[in-house]
């Protein structure tokens, strides 16, 4: 995430870093704290063209988990064109009739939207 310094910071539900899940974005990647357990992700997919050919907004999309084209959740920074807002939504899992999200990913989705910590 070294190429995305404007996204660096701590995020939590409603911007209250006393709450979990908490997400830290820094030059090394992302760190997730969910139910007291930590996980660091340093390799993820940046979906540069997710907004389409003519997209000119400031939202940026990442798939922090998954492999080989399967990504359980989508993270949108500056969601709805609002700086400092981060959403986590089901992508390849957690939709009606599809495979279920694992408990950690389900907790991330349930905590959304996130704001930068105050």
Q: What pLDDT, in 10s, does the model give residues 23-43?
A: 999 999 999 999 989 999 999
Both structure tokens of 59: 């939202």
Beta bridge partners of 24: 10, 31
pLDDT at residue number 60? 96
pLDDT at residue number 102? 94
> Any idea what the Cα angle at residue 26 is, between residues 33 and 12, rounded to 5°?
40
The distance from CA 100 to its chain's CA centroid, rounded to whole angstroms, is: 18
Q: With 0-12 CB in 10 A as exposed, 13-18 as middle and 19+ as buried, what is 75? A: buried
Q: Write out pLDDT tens, residues 42-95.
A: 999 999 888 888 888 999 999 999 887 899 999 999 999 999 999 999 999 998
Both structure tokens of 82: 């609002």
Q: What is the residue extent of each domain of the chain? A: 5-116
Query: What is the distance between the alpha carbons of residues 86 and 114, in angstroms, rounded to a whole number?
Result: 5
């Amino acid at each position: 995430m070294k190429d995305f310094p404007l996204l660096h910071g701590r995020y939590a539900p409603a911007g209250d870093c006393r709450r979990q899940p908490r997400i830290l974005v820094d030059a090394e990647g992302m760190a997730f704290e969910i139910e007291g357990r930590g996980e660091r992700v340093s390799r993820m997919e940046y979906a540069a063209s997710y907004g389409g050919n003519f997209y000119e907004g400031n939202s940026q999309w990442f798939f922090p988990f998954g492999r080989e084209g399967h990504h359980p959740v989508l993270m949108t920074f500056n969601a709805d064109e609002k700086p400092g807002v981060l959403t986590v939504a089901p992508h390849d899992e957690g939709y009606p009739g599809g495979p279920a999200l694992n408990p950690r990913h389900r907790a991330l989705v349930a905590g959304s939207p996130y704001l930068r910590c105050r």
